[in-house]
Structure 1
């Protein structure tokens, strides 16, 4: 409400009527409007209730959010497939490739950093942490790798080996080789 006091405005004395020409809905106290409103007419905000208080409703909202997060985490943890005894001994064959320098140090699908010198591999469906024995029938050599990534996403390839694993079975020069996979 205008107080009616006299004040100095642009080199003339006028009666105090802040926000006079605006409709009521536009008379909110924005920063600009607060700056333009004379001190004599400003609202005292020291007694107003804070917008976000730590009352029971707020605490209940936080509790519900925490409960929803816990339920979602539990659901996700139980839905991740684990290598079971039924998978152990499963033998399949397919084409293998390897990946190395370009991806070294990047994050894999399970969150760890890819190390091209470790005995790891990428597979489309096997659960992370599964140990697989990869054998190259052409050389007769084999290596045991741990699945820590998803892929390969090229053609009909079955598994992507790290550079170290590919070197152990002797397929670095060819780049791609027919292999036999056995889940351990």
Structure 2
């Protein structure tokens, strides 16, 4: 066999082994990072959900209302069955039967608090928003999980009138009476 051919085959074999080693290392690292991300997500979510305050202003969507019905939307902050704060918003609806997206107008409240939303003029509808939760948002880079996280509010994970509704307040699902006591 030719000396040059033998040398080229050795160089090619070393190159193939080197590439196979890099691919194996990358796949092994990706697998262990994925496993670490799954375990970290559970443990970090417990840490995040131990927070007692909601400092974000979650969004809600009012769906299926006419222009007249949502000229005034009133938000009550309820703690231990009593209203401690309320705010009135005047949303603008361009076309009938569109939806309006607005934020809950309280800067800070406890996770155990309930937000009561009152809509309507002649036919009032009421909604109770409760069970706000935080989750761990894991940070990822180009090579996968980085090992760090942020605590974020689950904006669609709260309950509306006792049911999950992804932050949507449907006209037909509102109750016809207010659930709070006076201040």
- Structure number with the higher strand fraction is 2
Larger Rg: 1
TM-score range (shorter-chain normalised) is 0.3 to 0.5
- Structure number with the higher helix fraction is 2
TM-score where L is the length of structure 2: 0.32
